[in-house]
């Protein structure tokens, strides 16, 4: 017990002085637990996040868009994979984490429980959803846990093109035919508020934030990150003539912030609890991929053990 207190204060000192915590270093059990929860949620979000955009790969309207979208969704798989690996350094297996996703005990970002209704959604997701994710991941690249920070650093480097390809689609549609313009505005109308919700509840209502910040896992609060996102996004919307669906949006000269209206937290909690438009479909898609792929994984394992048997003989 005495050791734990000493270890914990030494641990906090290391974090406060900006050191990275590595897998074999001493860490409080709760730190380990919280990191596993957070990193696996992040990983699940990448994997489930493949589905809404993946929905449009087969319908992308030009060869260039088709390749860019496929490469982008493929990146999400890669990012999920980096993150599962980061979680695995904490002593859990990817298979256990995936089982938790599939049995519904693990969460993923609620944004992916909204449907992609038109091609414009692909552009708007790249612009807003990836834009919000990049704000978050840029912070996480400085996280105190080494493997998580490194995974986020790699992700940020690769995601640079995601937001840009999204914004290019938005800009192209916004300058297109009447139908295309209304398609892209409609997509922004649908994705704007869920994008703001991606940063999580207000700081006062976020039970984990204070602890995660004290441990240096997070460096900025939810509200702080959300405000930063709004501040960088509004000028981009204006540049291409997109209207942000918030009548209360106004610029505060003093603070330099774009102040925005109230977020519908009822909707946020409703979707988290499983009642978003696509929760059931997303889980069904992941479960069928998993179940349909079981015989393939078994075949690979059987082949590998056959190799081992042959080598030992």
Partner 1 sequence: MKTPDTPLWEVFLQNKQGAPHEHAGSVHASDAEMALQNARDVFTRRGHPVSIWVVPAIQVHASNPDDAHSLFDPADDKLYRHPSFYSVPRGVRDV
Partner 2 sequence: MTDLALTNFLIRTGDDCLIVGHRLSEWCGHAPILEEDVALANIALDCIGTANALYTRACDLGGGRRTPDELAFLRSVTEFRNALIVELPRGDFARTIVRQYLFAEYELLLFEALSSCPDPEVAGIAGRTINERKYHVRHCREWVARLGLGTEESRSRAQAAVDELWPYTAELFQKDKLLEELVASGVLPGLDGTSAEWTDVVSRSLSDASLVVPADVFQHVGGREGRHTEHLGHLLDEMQIVARSHPDGKW
| Binding region for partner 1 (CB under 8 A) | 22, 24-26, 71, 74-75, 78, 81-82, 85, 88, 93-95, 98-99, 151, 154, 158, 290, 294, 297-298, 300-301, 303-304, 307
Helical (H) or strand (E) element with 252: strand 250-252
Q: How many CA atoms lie within 13 A of 123 on its CB side?
A: 25
What Rg value do the Cα atoms of the chain yield, rounded? 21
Q: Which of 65, 162, 218, 220 binds partner 2 (CB under 8 A)?
A: 65
Residue 145 DSSP label: B
CB environment 66-81: b (16+ within 10 A), e (fewer): eebbeebbebbeebbe
Let me know if 310 is exposed, middle or buried by CB neighbors in 10 A (0-12, 13-18, 19+).
exposed
Sign of CA dihedral 67, 197, 44, 159: positive
62 binds partner 2 (CB under 8 A): yes
Binds 61: which of partner 1, partner 2, none (CB < 5-8 Å by kind):
partner 2
Stretch that binds partner 2, among 107-115, 207-215, 246-254, 282-290 (CB under 8 A): 282-290
Tell me the per-residue interface mask from 157 to 196 with partner 2, x by CB under 8 A, - otherwise. ------------x--x---xx-xx----------------
Nearest one of 237, 230, 221, 233 to 258, comparing CA atoms: 230
CA distance 120 to 188: 9
Task: State the nearest-atom distance from the C-beta of 307 to partner 1, in Å.
Answer: 6
| CB-nearer residue toward partner 1: 210 or 300 | 300
300 binds partner 2 (CB under 8 A): yes
310 binds partner 2 (CB under 8 A): no
297 binds partner 2 (CB under 8 A): yes
71 binds partner 2 (CB under 8 A): yes
Task: State the nearest-atom distance from the C-beta of 40 to partner 2, in Å.
Answer: 13
Binds 25: which of partner 1, partner 2, none (CB < 5-8 Å by kind):
partner 1
CA distance 142 to 261: 30
Task: State the nearest-atom distance from the C-beta of 286 to partner 2, in Å.
Answer: 9
Tell me the per-residue interface mask from 83 to 102 with partner 2, x by CB under 8 A, - otherwise. -x------------------
Sequence-distant (6+) residues with CB within 8 A of 109 are 41, 45, 48, 49, 198
Binds 66: which of partner 1, partner 2, none (CB < 5-8 Å by kind):
partner 2
- In degrees, rounded to 5, the angle at the alpha carbon of residue 50 between the alpha carbons of residues 155 and 235 is 65
104 binds partner 2 (CB under 8 A): no
295 binds partner 2 (CB under 8 A): yes
Q: Which of 262, 303, 309, 312 binds partner 2 (CB under 8 A)?
A: 303
250 binds partner 2 (CB under 8 A): no
Question: Is the distance from CB of 119 to CB of 60 less than 8 angstroms?
Answer: yes
Binds 26: which of partner 2, partner 1, none (CB < 5-8 Å by kind):
partner 1
Question: Is the distance from CB of 111 to CB of 197 less than 8 angstroms?
Answer: yes
């Amino acid at each position: 017990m005495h050791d734990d207190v000493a270890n914990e204060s030494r641990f906090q000192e290391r974090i406060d002085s900006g050191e990275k915590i590595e897998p074999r270093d001493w860490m409080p059990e709760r730190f380990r637990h919280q990191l596993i929860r957070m990193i696996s949620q992040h990983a699940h979000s990448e994997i489930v996040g493949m589905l809404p955009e993946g929905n449009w790969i087969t319908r992308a309207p030009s060869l260039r868009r088709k390749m860019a979208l496929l490469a982008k969704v493929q990146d999400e798989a890669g990012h999920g994979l980096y993150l599962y690996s980061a979680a695995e350094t904490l002593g859990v297996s990817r298979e256990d984490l995936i089982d938790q996703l599939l049995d519904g005990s693990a969460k993923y970002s609620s944004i992916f429980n909204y449907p992609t209704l038109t091609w414009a959604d692909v552009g708007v997701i790249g612009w807003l959803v990836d834009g919000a994710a990049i704000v978050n991941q840029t912070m996480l690249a400085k996280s105190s846990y080494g493997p998580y920070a490194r995974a986020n650093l790699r992700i940020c480097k690769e995601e640079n093109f995601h937001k840009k390809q999204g914004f290019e689609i938005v800009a192209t549609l916004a300058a297109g035919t009447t139908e295309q313009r209304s398609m892209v505005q409609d997509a922004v109308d649908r994705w704007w508020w869920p994008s703001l919700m991606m940063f999580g509840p207000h700081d006062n209502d976020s039970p984990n934030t204070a602890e995660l910040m004290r441990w240096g896992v997070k460096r900025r609060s939810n509200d702080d990150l959300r405000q930063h996102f709004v501040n960088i996004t509004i000028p981009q919307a204006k540049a291409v003539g997109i209207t942000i669906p918030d009548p209360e949006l106004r610029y505060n000269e003093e603070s330099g912030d774009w102040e925005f209206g109230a977020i519908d937290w009822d909707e946020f909690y409703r979707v988290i609890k499983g009642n978003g438009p696509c929760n059931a479909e997303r889980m069904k898609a992941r479960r069928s991929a998993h179940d349909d792929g079981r015989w393939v994984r078994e075949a690979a394992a059987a082949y590998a053990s056959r190799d081992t048997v042959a080598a030992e003989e």
